[in-house]
Each structure stands twice: as structure tokens, then as C-alpha cells.
Chains A and B, each alone.
Chain A
């Protein structure tokens, strides 16, 4: 076992009987159960733990909690590797592998610390100026270098083998924070009868009480409070759980770390995200100590006073032997006393002229040297502090030391209430921001509302717990809490004035923002807090500036000669501490990322050589491998089959809506741009719907099954939107229409038999049915049964060939598919996929998604005559707007490639032949296909009306591939313009 040379022989809340082994940068070290990584490193005398973000300055452990800006490490290896974790919140566990970050080749010798010498180049506003100014192009040069030099840790790139969960939970009262106020609130709320969730990010309850000696009255109070809470069956004690966000409706986002000391086999949940819905919330989130600002205040060996006290009393680590405690307030004196009591030589430098006499007396008793009206102006030492320069009434002096504890006062932790839009308000008496007005079901307690004295926090928590329970109707009588008096003085604080010597004085340690950067921002006019933040990157680190915000605000206020409230407060946003993306995703990863929809014929496709394609949530056959060696070969072969023999296509993904009711015909007449009222029973019609603004919404066919019953199909993509829109119109616009709409998309399997042989195939497959031209002409319907399921055959064509859509009850889909293929074998029937389907419709000039793109009108698509002189349908009035009728709008045209051996590409931009290809051009290619009938590439395009005359020439430019190809404007219908193939 390694030395633990800074560990005291007794005390602390560590379990000395359970040693824990870990490695840091390959060094084998040991600590105890109950240690954090930070406390174990300090116990082992490791003070240099990281390099800073920009300047690669050596950094040590600064805090003892989630506010840590410096000691960020990478945990684990391979897929489990997780970067940027504060060593101060990592619970030490056996076998932990930890690496420091942002250093090369090693932590102690880092070549990029020369960045410090390039400091002027990396000053505030560097990114801003580089991106926005005339030097914009310089980024190309800088980027490579900066991305490598500046940064944090790197996540693992392999798949993470661990499991994460997302769950939902409920409570009457949630209490955020397990310190004295939170414990007291939880007890009160539970006693009042509420179901309580107590949320604590640490693996121990107690908050600041953990910084009290383990044999003190505070420790006894804590033991009792914890025991009382454990006795309540209605209290969930959620340790290792951070409330990272607070959302509307009293919802908290929580992330729970699994107990790392509990050995678990692979596959156990590593982190759990809980969305906790509550009826009321008590925020008892405490306060965060502020640093003091002086030159080189970022060196290893500079630590928050409260953190030093925590390391001493909770972890039995004495982090220094010769200690300077620099403070603006009473609180840090307690750290000085405890450190002196543990044997350190301590000097208190208090910026105040007359610190309270009671403190001075105690200092004298413990041999603590007191220097009033004294501040640190400079600090000396590289990898560890060696001495400081003090400035006091007797002038400057130098003092040797190996630890500097600083306290610039406290900032209430108002992050979570800020998430809800509760604006922080400044309180002069504590020189800090507290939450403004809470909503009726939310409460604050303890240090987060400025009650810094423990006895007051306990009282405060008690009151908040009772009120929170009462706000959910739970008000059983609650016994008074046990008193806890730690003999603290109400902490008076003097605003500290940054004292800057020759070295950099850091405000934001993680983002390497100095007082100089703030001065620069002020000089250049970025005075508002929000501008300051963006200009200097202050508070934009993974710690969100928990320790730095106030100091920066104070510095800017001083420069502007303004008060703190005049300078303003920044807005905090979730998450409070970083949350792994994996935890937020939970199990929705890989295969489970989104639902997968499969048609009734899916298994057949899989078993018969289909290459599948994701289309929205659907899996559809893209092409079949027996048709060709690649998609281009296959789709052309499948097109030929359809044009020359027959093809079978799975169209089950179409949206299908049953429209019923006495007013169904009137309803459809209003929702489609073309008329449906006079549609004969047993006939189908192609219809186009518009949006209210006159733009085309969707198209499909609707068939009249009976006087009051229609069968509507929609595009695959718009199925859900169309149904919802129809329901909207019926519920909100025309509740007087007696119509019901129901989705029947999943009830029917649908397949299209297309091609010259299609009728012969249906004859063979359904010998009992009459599918002759007379019985079932183009746009006709035949209803029957097949294998005891409903059967509908619609004679509709998308490909331009004689074709039938065959609908059957979904459970018989695969069976009928196979039956059709078998019946079609003598007629060369083969399945085809969506690539061929799309190509066939392009050849026929039918519009689809790429043309109906939410910007085109009926006229743009050449469908204006469908509406004719009709009026009173959705979108009719606004489609007549002059702008939508402008003669030069882009409209649908056909294009054919006129360069031998070249191809058109979807998305190509269209220019005139003599034009310089620059900008958005005259239009664009929307859909393309190789046309076996034409022997070259053809496409559909949207082209400005003034250059869209048939026969004119355009150039299609595809900058992604550097291609330019000449094309001729033609009719968008490339085959059978008279539609002769559809009939007969």
C-alpha cells in the first residue's frame, strides 16, 4: 500500500479497514472506502492533477464538490472511457483507472504550456474576432492547431458495453440537497404525511455537515436525522443522484450513478436518468464558496477554505503543513482553526480591517497568526505553491507556505431555480444572489436562500418541509426538529477587490479567463454580462462557472463603476452538471433508437433477396438482388419487367383512411382541391389536398365504396399528418359535418400488380373474379373476399402501365403475395422495389415527395386544371395570392440529358447555358432516373417559368461532384403521354 503520507492517523468518515487500489496516470495508489478520488490523491501527496484548457497551466484540486473547475479526469478505458469527470465527486472504487487530461507528453512536463507564452494570441474574443473579422479565413490555419492544443478529455470511441436506463417516477415532495436544510425539510414533509424523494449528489448525506469533525455534535445530529428518515417508508433517499435540470410542472431530471464499490457483473446499469414528477419541490441546494482573485491564484496548492476543511474532517487528510488562509469573511476562520488544531502552522489574512474579536481570541488560543486588512497579491510556485506576497498595513511581505486556502464569500446555488425562470435577486447583506419569487409549490431552504448559519438552515428546512407537504394537502402535525447549533457567527463579508500582480489572475479557472480578459471585454464594449460571457467564454466550461460567475460579475461591476444588480446576473441552463448522452438515451440506442414498422410481407422480402431501405419508420424493399449486381442495374431491370411483363410491389405502407358518414362526400369535396361529391360508387379518383396557405399538402386516391363511405389512401410519408388534419377539420372547423375518419393503414396489406400482363395474372390468381375491362376498367373497384378476408382490387396505376392495387386483410398479406407470384410465374411476374417504383413514376411524370416539398402550388406542379373553377376547398383562397401566381415561379418541367454518357443528379442546380454557375440558379432537379425507353437519363425539375419553354436548353450543375451536364427542357411525361397503356 502506498504512503497515504498526508493522511491523519485517526478521524474522518473513511473506512480504514477497506483499502481501495486505483491507478492515476499508471501510478498504483491506494485510498480507503469513503474516499473520493480527490481525497485519495491528496492523501497520497498528489497535488498536480491536470492542465488547464487554454494555457496548459498546472492545476491541482480546488474544491471538494461538483463545482470543481480544475481537477477533471478521464475514467475507465475503451468503450467505458468517460472524460471530464471532477475528481472531487468520483467515489473511489477498487480497480479504478484514472488519467489526467489535456497534457502531452506527461502531466509534469507539458510541451504546450508554452501556450502561456502565446497568451496574447489566445486572449478573450480570439474566436469571435477570428470568425467575424477580416481574418475569417485564418480559422482554416488556426483550427488544426487549436483543436489539438485546447481541450478537455476524449471520450471512448468504441461502443459502450454498459447499460443506461431512463425511467419515470413520482413523489409528493422532492427535496434537492441532503444538507442540514434538506434533511430537516425531508423529515418535516414526511412527518406531515407526504411521499418524499430526497436527492443528494454525494454518496453520503449531510452536505456541509460532512465537513464537521466526525466526533462532533453535528455528526451526532446527522446520524439521528439519517436514522429518522430511514424509518419512514414514504421517504426515498436517493444518494449519488444529481438533479441536473428542473422543468415545468415540478419535474426534475435526475441522474443516478451506480454504487461503484458494489461489484456487479457486466450489463448492470451504470447510470439511470429519472424524470421525477412531483407536486412540490424544496430546493436545499446550499451554496458554493467563491475564490479570491490574485496573480497565479490557479496554482496547485490553492484551495477553497471549505474544501480544505472537508478534506481534513471528512477524509482525515491534512493537505498542507504551512497554510495561508485568505478570506473576506468569518466562515474561513473555522477552516483555519481546524487546520491549526490538526497541527498545521496557519496564518489568516483577512481583507477586513477589524475581524470579529471572538475569532481573534480563538485564533490566539490556537496559535493562528492573524493579519487584518491584508490580502494576497501574488503567488509563487510552479507545480506547487511555495510562497505568497501579502499586502497589508505594513506594506508588502512574503510568506512561505505549502497550501493557500481562499474564501471570497459564498454564492447560493440558484442554478435549478434559474432553470425555471426564477430570476436571481441580489441581496446586499450577504453580497450574493438568491432566487427571486418562487411559484406556489416550490420552496427554498438553507444556504441557497442565504441562511448560512446551520441552526437557521435547520429551522428553515423544517418550515419549507411543512409548507411543501401542505401544498400537496398533507398537513399531519410535525414534531419540532432537534436543534443543531455549531456556534457559528453570521458571516459578514467584504467584497474583495481583485489584486493583480505580474502574473495572470484567474476568474474562471476551467476556461482560463483572467481579469485581463474581463478588462479587455470592458474596453471593447462587451459590458453586459451576457456579452461578457460570450466574448470571454466565461462560465462556458463543463463546470458552467460555478465558482467563477460572481467574481467575474464583481470585476465587471468594478470596471463599470456600477453595482452588482446593475451589472446583472447570467442565466443558468440545464444541466447543472454534465450528463452523459448515453444516460439520456437510456435504452433507445442502436436497434431500439426508434420503432421499426414492417409490412405484412416483410419476412418474404427478407427471405427472397430484398435489399431493405428505411423510409421513415418503415422498412421497404429497395431492390431485389436477383434483378442485378447493384442498385443501378437492378432498378433498371425491374423497370423493364414492369414495362414489358409485370411487376409486384409491396405498397402496404400507404396511409389508408376510412371515411364514413352522411356528409362524407361533402367533407372530401372540401378537403381535396378537386371535386369528390359526384364520384360514382365503385370508382376511384386521384386527389390533391392543399394546406390553408394554398401550398400542396399531399396526394393520393380516394375510392367511393358506398354512398356514405370512402376509402382514402395517402402518401406513406404524410399518412399521420393527413389523418390528424382531417380530424382537426372535423373537430374544430366543421363539427356540423357528420363524418368519422379512422386509420386503417395497418388493417390492410397492399400490393400493386403492374404491367401489360397484370390482368392475365389476376385472372390466374382469382379465377372466380371477373377482372375484364368491362367489369374493372381504369379507376374501377372490385370488392370481394379471399381466404375469408376482405379483398379490394382497385385498377390504379402509378407506373403508367395497366395496373391493379390489391388490398387484403393484413394477416393474409404474405399468403396473397405468394399466391400472386405463383400465378404470375408463366407471365414473368417479378417483385420490384422502391427504387424502380420511383423511377417508373418519374418516367410517367407523376409528382411525389421531392416535388410536393411544402413550397409548391398546384400550378407549379402543372395540376392547376384539377381545381378548375371550383371554390370552397381548403387552401383555395390563399392559393390565388398574386405571389403564388407570379408567372416566373418555378414550375414542373421534364429534363432529358443531352450529353452522351453523362447523367443527371437529383439536387443539381439549373443555369442557362451562357450563365456563370453561381448562386441559386434558375431552378433545380428534383427527381431523376435512367429511362430504359429513352435510353438516357431523364428527370423532373422545378424551373423558373421564363426559361422553362419546352425545347430550351439548361445546364445542370452538381458542385458536390464537380459535374456539369447539358439538358433539354421537355414535357415531364416521358412515356405514353396519351395514357393509352392504362386503358383497354
Chain B
């Protein structure tokens, strides 16, 4: 029974969210032709015991995609942030 503190809507039950997988993997640029890079992005996961950055979308709320930092041992959520914000910061337009 996770509760995710949506930065837009406040603390909400995880039933309102859709899980979107590992957020720590790097998606290659859309025109990156390297199969190895895409293979790593699609298939290779570290499956950590501890902190895990992952995507969640608030589908029945604001529909924003979030990056949630969750401890896989006890589901304690350390942080929730808009995915857009963190990705924009990484690659300024």
C-alpha cells in the first residue's frame, strides 16, 4: 500500500498511478543507431536491493510522469519529482 506524494496533487494511493519501469536507465537519443545502447536501455536492469529510481504516472490524477525514489526493501519513498523537470535539467533545450 504505497502512498505517493504527487508534487501536483498531494499524497495519493498507488492505485491512482501506473508504474513505468526503471528511471535510472538512459534512453538513447531517438536517432541513435547503436543497437548495443538500445539493448541496454530496453533489457539491462540492475534490480537493486535498496534505493531505486523509477517512473510512475499519475494516470487518474494530473497525468504527469514522476521519478520516484523507492527503497525496494521496504517500499519507503525518499523522493518524488516531475520526470519532465529532471530530464529538462539534464539536457537544456
Contacts and interface: CB of A to CB of B under 8 A. Distances in A.
Interface of A: 247-249, 251, 275, 277, 420-421, 439, 670, 692-693, 720, 724, 727-728, 730-736, 871-874, 877-878, 880-881
A667 to B, nearest CB: 10
A728 B38 contact: no
B22 to A, nearest CB: 11
Interface residues of B, number: 35
Contact of A727 (B2, B23, B63): B63
A735 B84 contact: yes
B38 to A, nearest CB: 5
Interface in B21-54: 23, 27-28, 30-35, 38-39, 41-43
Contacts of A275: 1
A881 B42 contact: no
A692 B41 contact: yes
A872 B27 CA distance: 13
Contacts of B27: 732-733
A670 B2 CA distance: 34
Nearest to B38: A877
A565 to B, nearest CB: 22
Given A251-B1, A724-B18, A732-B83, 16 more contacts: A247-B1, A249-B75, A692-B42, A693-B42, A724-B57, A727-B63, A728-B20, A731-B84, A732-B23, A732-B84, A733-B27, A733-B30, A735-B87, A735-B88, A877-B34, A880-B35
Contacts of B41: 692
Contacts of B63: 727
A872 B31 contact: yes
Contacts of B93: 735-736
A317 B76 CA distance: 50
B83 A249 contact: no
Nearest to A168: B13
A702 B35 CA distance: 29
Given A249-B2, A735-B87, A877-B35, A728 B65 contact: yes
A670 B83 CA distance: 20
B3 A872 contact: no
B74 to A, nearest CB: 7
Given A724-B18, A728-B20, A731-B83, A439 B74 contact: yes
Nearest to A670: B30
Contacts of A871: 31, 33
8 contacts: A249-B1, A728-B65, A735-B91, A871-B33, A872-B31, A877-B32, A877-B33, A881-B35
Interface of B: 1-3, 18, 20, 23, 27-28, 30-35, 38-39, 41-43, 55, 57, 59, 63-65, 73-75, 82-84, 87-88, 91, 93
A728 to B, nearest CB: 6
Contacts of B83: 731-732
A732 B32 CA distance: 16
Contacts of A730: 84
A735 B64 CA distance: 12
A670 B28 CA distance: 13
A732 B42 contact: no
B31 to A, nearest CB: 4
A203 to B, nearest CB: 28
Nearest to B21: A728
Contacts of B3: 249, 277
A693 B41 CA distance: 10
A835 B32 CA distance: 43
Contacts of B23: 732
Nearest to B23: A732
B74 A692 contact: no
User: Which has the most chain B C-beta neighbours within 10 Å: A727, A734, A881?
Assistant: A727
Contacts of A421: 73-74
Contacts of A880: 35
Given A249-B3, A692-B38, A731 B87 contact: yes
A880 B39 CA distance: 12
B87 A277 contact: no
Nearest to A882: B35
A874 B64 CA distance: 21
Nearest to B31: A872
Contacts of A251: 1
Contacts of A878: 35, 38-39, 42
B30 A248 contact: no
B57 to A, nearest CB: 6
Contacts of A692: 38, 41-42
Given A732-B87, A736-B91, A248 B18 contact: no
Nearest to B32: A877
Q: Which 6 A-B pairs rank lowest in CB-CB distance, beginning with the nearest?
A: A251-B1, A872-B31, A731-B65, A248-B75, A736-B93, A247-B1
A724 B64 contact: no
Contacts of B84: 730-732, 735
B33 A728 contact: no
A33 B82 CA distance: 58
Contacts of A693: 42-43
A721 B8 CA distance: 22
Contacts of B2: 248-249
B74 A248 contact: yes
A248 B4 CA distance: 12
Nearest to B4: A249
A584 to B, nearest CB: 14
A229 B76 CA distance: 32
Nearest to B66: A731
Contacts of B32: 877
A735 B65 CA distance: 11
A117 to B, nearest CB: 49
Contact of B30 (A727, A728, A873): A873
B12 to A, nearest CB: 12
A836 B2 CA distance: 45
B43 to A, nearest CB: 8
A724 B83 CA distance: 14
Contacts of B28: 877
B75 A727 contact: no
A732 B56 CA distance: 11
A736 B74 CA distance: 35
A732 B42 CA distance: 15
B57 A728 contact: yes
A670 B30 CA distance: 7
A247 B2 CA distance: 9
Contacts of B91: 735-736
B57 A734 contact: no
Contacts of A734: 30
A732 B30 contact: no
A828 B55 CA distance: 53
A693 B21 CA distance: 14
A735 B32 CA distance: 17
Nearest to A246: B1
A730 B59 CA distance: 15
B52 to A, nearest CB: 14
B1 to A, nearest CB: 4
Nearest to B89: A735
A728 B55 contact: yes
Interface centre among A249, A670, A736, A872 (most CB of B within 10 A): A249
B9 to A, nearest CB: 16
A421 B74 CA distance: 8
A877 B1 CA distance: 38
Contacts of B59: 720, 724
A670 B35 CA distance: 17
A392 B91 CA distance: 83
Contacts of A247: 1
A450 B79 CA distance: 37
A619 to B, nearest CB: 22
A467 B33 CA distance: 58
A657 to B, nearest CB: 12
A732 B65 contact: yes
B65 to A, nearest CB: 4
A826 B83 CA distance: 57
Nearest to A421: B74
Which of A248, A249, A724, A877 has the most C-beta atoms of chain B within 10 angstroms of its own C-beta?
Answer: A877
